[in-house]
Amino acid sequence: MSLKISRPVDLLDFDALSVFEAFDEGVIITDDSGRIVFYNATQAQIDDMKVSDVIGKKVTEVYNLDESSSKIMRCLRSGRPIMGEIFFYRTRQGKLANTIHSVFPLHKNGRMMGAICFVKDYLLLERTITTTSRPNPHEVNDLGNYTRYRFTDIVGTDNSFLNIVKLARLAADSPSSIMLQGETGTGKEMFAQSIHNYSSRRVKRFVGINCAAIPENLLEGLLFGTAKGAFTGAVDKPGLFEQAHHSTLLLDEVDSMPLSLQAKILRVLQERYIRRVGGAVEIPVDIKIVSTVCSDPHRAIEEGKLRMDLYHRLAVVFIQIPPLRSLKGALEVLTRHFIYKYNLVLKKNVTGITREVMELFSSYPWPGNIRELEHVIEGAMNVIGAEDRIEVRHLPSHFISDTIGNEQAFRPEPVELPGRKIITDIPDIGIPARYETRPEKTSTRSAGKKSLQASQQEHEIQMITEALHQSGWNVAKAGRRLGVSRQLLYYKIRKHGIKVKTEE
């Protein structure tokens, strides 16, 4: 869509217009008299109007507003920004909009040239929230109650991790609240959905909301609902508490919720009833609340982000999900699981990964945890050709460079990953599909495992040193001689402490 700009106003001589045109929020720019000089496609959708019908007109001509009721005109008069105000307005054509407005004065050379207004539409935002929080009902793994996961989908063999899963199972059917703490990507939502599906509430719809993603002005209405007449344009509408009656409500990143709203959540937990915004009727609710935090909740309390009394109500059962780097043996099991999963999704026949890839995986700290591992494997399997194993060249280049640059690398013993035969038994807790590994070739010598590893390492160092020497200490040429990538060779040089000469 081409931008329609009123050229006499030099206010618009900057490159941000193309960005504003792509915004998923409405954007209106006016001159100092309130005449509209820019109006993006999202705002046209909110107002149900054409851009060409708006450009060049004053805001009071386009909307059923006067100089005192228009947010833009108010900003132009006062010269002060307006931040996040709920605003109901009607266009001259009769379209009613329920929005949040933020308006900022625009200055040039010390003189106010106009104003820019950002508009969030309540209905568009709500549809976006609903779409992103609900699984696709056409997905194969959708369970019919807006969830995708059960405890049998949680992969792990480490005893401490299995004890965490056991604790979550034991607490699932209790009415007590559960708080899940873990870094980004550790699977907190998977745990929350599994808790719901292991309880008697599983027949009801699972309801979840990310408290950090919703503007403060909207969050209370979304949670508690609204009563007709509470404010201009308000209608009777149930909130998420009512929708989660007899079910489970997930409050994701609850420590990002405003403290004033945390006090109201506390009252719901104590009294077990809610009142809609602007309403007087007390509505009973029976809810199992599962909340999540990414960092230590005690630190959030000290920093004033989380009320202590709410924490004690929400963390009746506190479950700490460990990061991937601390789970013994998890890399091998999870790698097998994700290869199996994406073989089905992508219709591939990948049987495993090379030892070099496993070494890179083992030396990487995985800041994105299990989610990052899954994305790396999925990406590699998208670009793999006829090969039956994931090789270093299939990995994203940024992943390899990040691994090589990691000075705090931990290096568990490399393992050989899955063979071709798949055993389809699914245990209650653990990997959803188990791979049978290839039989290892045994040496006829009586040397122990440790001496064999030392011999292999010594042979690898010798081969790398010879290749470097023959290539004039050019790492890229040496890598081509050895048949490995330059990135992987740099990693092995650093791993073995080989000194590379700058000249022969």
Please name the amino acid found at residue 147.
T
Please name the amino acid found at residue 228.
K
Residue pair 157/165 in contact by the 8 Å Cβ criterion: no
Q: For the whole model, what pTM was predicted?
A: 0.61
What radius of gyration, in Å, describes the C-alpha atoms of the chain? Answer: 29
User: Using CA atoms in the order 35, 40, 44, 49, what is the torsion angle rounded to 10 degrees?
Assistant: 50
Residue pair 97/46 in contact by the 8 Å Cβ criterion: yes
Predicted pLDDT of residue 502: 56
Which residue is listed with tokens 């206010």? 11
- Three-state SS for 217-283 is HHHHHHHHEECCCCCCCCCCEECHHHHCCCEEEEEECHHHCCHHHHHHHHHHHHHCEECCECCCCCE
Q: How far apart are CA 327 and CA 380, in angstroms?
A: 23
Q: pLDDT band at residue 233, thresholds of 50, 70 and 90?
A: low
- What does the angle CA 87 – CA 89 – CA 94 come to, to the nearest 5 degrees? 160
Q: What percent of the chain has pLDDT over 90?
A: 43
What's the residue count for the chain? Answer: 504
Q: Mean pLDDT over residues 412-436, rounded?
A: 31
Helix (H) or strand (E) holding 492: helix 486-496
Lowest mean pLDDT among 264-278, 309-323, 386-400: 386-400
Other C-beta atoms closer than 10 Å to the C-beta of 290 total: 30
Q: What percent of the chain has pLDDT over 70?
A: 79
Q: Is the model more confident about 472 or about 38?
A: 38
Could you read off the pLDDT of 327-366 as tens digits, one per residue?
877 888 899 889 988 888 888 889 889 988 888 888 888 9
Taken in order 225, 229, 234, 237, the sign of the CA dihedral is positive
Query: SS3 for 307?
Result: coil
Residue pair 60/73 in contact by the 8 Å Cβ criterion: yes
Residue pair 225/285 in contact by the 8 Å Cβ criterion: no
Could you read off the pLDDT of 368-403 as tens digits, one per residue?
999 999 999 999 999 888 778 899 889 877 676 656
Residues 6+ apart with CB under 8 A from 52: 4
Instruction: Enumerate domains of the chain plus CATH numbers.
Output: 10-121 (3.30.450.20), 134-322 (3.40.50.300), 324-440 (1.10.8.60), 460-504 (1.10.10.60)
Q: How far apart are CA 15 and CA 5, in angstroms?
A: 13
Q: Mean pLDDT over residues 247-259, rounded?
A: 95
Residues 6+ apart with CB under 8 A from 378: 338, 342
Q: Which residues pair with 121 in a beta bridge?
A: 99
Query: SS3 for 411?
Result: coil
Q: How far apart are CA 52 and CA 41, in angstroms?
A: 11
Retrieve residue 470's tokens: 């023959």
Residues 6+ apart with CB under 8 A from 87: 71, 99, 100, 101
pLDDT at 298 over 80: yes
Q: Mean pLDDT over residues 51-75, rounded?
A: 92
Residue 319's nearest CA partner among 195, 198, 147 is 195
Helix (H) or strand (E) holding 126: helix 122-133
pLDDT at 134 over 70: no
Could you read off the pLDDT of 80-101 as tens digits, one per residue?
999 877 777 888 877 777 788 8
